[in-house]
Structure 1
Amino acid sequence: MSNPFDIKNQRDFDENTEKLVAAIDKINNTPSLPATIAELSRLTGLHRNAISNRGWPNQKLKLIKEKRKTQEQAETKSTIHKNPIKVLEEKLDNAKNELVYWFNKNLDNEKQIKQLEINLERMSLARNDYETMLKNERIKSMELTKQLEQLKNLIS
């Protein structure tokens, strides 16, 4: 004797299988629908884990993806046959644009290098000036220290 839960579970399983088959057919026939388990879940109302646990829907989706990829490659191959002169002209234009870009980049770098050299020169001169000022201040400090010592000696 069968358990009533087993009968209900089998009926639900069969209904879900029919929903999956219909949704996979819809995805297969509609290229705008992504061939994903999430889309299959959205179309059937089943949870993604319930779909993934069955296994075969995932394989069907992979086949659909491969089919779409080969169709896309076939379409791109047919559009590849362009006029070779146009292709070469496009490449030449791209090369010209790249040349202009790198030329301008080079000019900017040369300007930056010149500015950095000027800044370095200014810093070097300023360093020399500050070193001279430091020497003079040390000499003054030493003279003032001597004078202070002399005054201390006079007072004591």
Structure 2
Amino acid sequence: MSNPFDIKNQRDFDENTEKLVAAIDKINNTPSLPATIAELSRLTGLHRNAISNRAWPNQKLKLIKAKRKTQEQAETKPSVNKNPIKVLEEKLDNAKNELVYWFNKNLDNEKQIKQLEINLERISLARNDYETMLKQERDKTTELTKQLNIMRDLLS
């Protein structure tokens, strides 16, 4: 007769195996998920050591990593059979886009220069006005100082 704990342990083992298979399928079908034991642990809720004690999940993860690496290398390899006309057209489009960018940048700079010139003119006019006002106030101060001295002389 089998022990009730053995039955429970076998049932838990089978459930965990199903969780692992489902999580490995999810990792395999979702390139944004990393193919690591930590991710597998997060998806299944099992401890990393419990997953590492089984050999097959780690082997499956290694296969997924290798598959992704070969796919990445295949995508990054330059195509040898590119049409030279298309390459030149792409370069022309890039040059056009860059020309438009710099043209707009130049227009923005010209607008900014005009605004700065207007501000400079306003500041220059205001400076002249303030210099005139300062001169008038100094003249008044000089005149008042003279009158004050005359009054002092009269009082003494």
TM-score w.r.t. the length of structure 1 is: 0.64
Count of residue pairs the alignment pairs up: 148
State the partner residue of 1:51: 48
SS of the residue aligned with 2:128?
Answer: helix
Match of residue 130 from structure 1: 130
Which of 61-70 and 100-109 deviates more? 61-70
Q: Which runs of 5+ in 1 are unaligned?
A: none
Equivalent residues in 2 for 1:3-152 (5 A)? 14-15=13-14, 18-19=17-18, 21-23=20-22, 25-27=24-26, 30-31=29-30, 34-36=33-35, 37-38=38-39, 41-42=42-43, 44=44, 46-47=45-46, 50-51=47-48, 54-55=51-52, 61=61, 63-75=63-75, 77=77, 81-151=81-151
Residues 87-127 of structure 1, C-alpha deviations (whole Å, 9 max, x = no match): 22022012112102101211221231233133223313321
For residues 62 and 130 of structure 1, what CA distance do their matches in structure 2 show? 80
Distance in structure 1 (CA, Å) of the matches to 2:99 and 2:32: 43
131-140 vs 77-86, greater mean Cα deviation: 77-86
Q: Residue 146 of structure 1: CA displacement?
A: 2.8
Percent of paired sites with the same residue: 60
Q: RMSD in angstroms over aligned alpha carbons?
A: 3.9
Given the superposition, is the C-alpha separation of residues 16 and 81 from structure 1 closer, same or farther in structure 2, using an over 3 Å criterion? Answer: farther
The change in CA–CA distance for 1:123 and 1:29 in structure 2 (over 3 A counts) is: closer
Q: Deviations over 1:54-101 (max 9, x none)?
A: 557567536523421321432454867442211220220121121021
- SS, match of residue 87 in structure 1: helix
1:6-54 deviations in Å (ceiling 9; x for gaps): x799768845763465245424653567345446533x3x25xx12675
Measure the CA separation in 2 of the matches of 1:41 and 1:17.
13
Which structure 2 segments of 5+ residues have no match? none
AA partner of residue 64 (structure 2): I
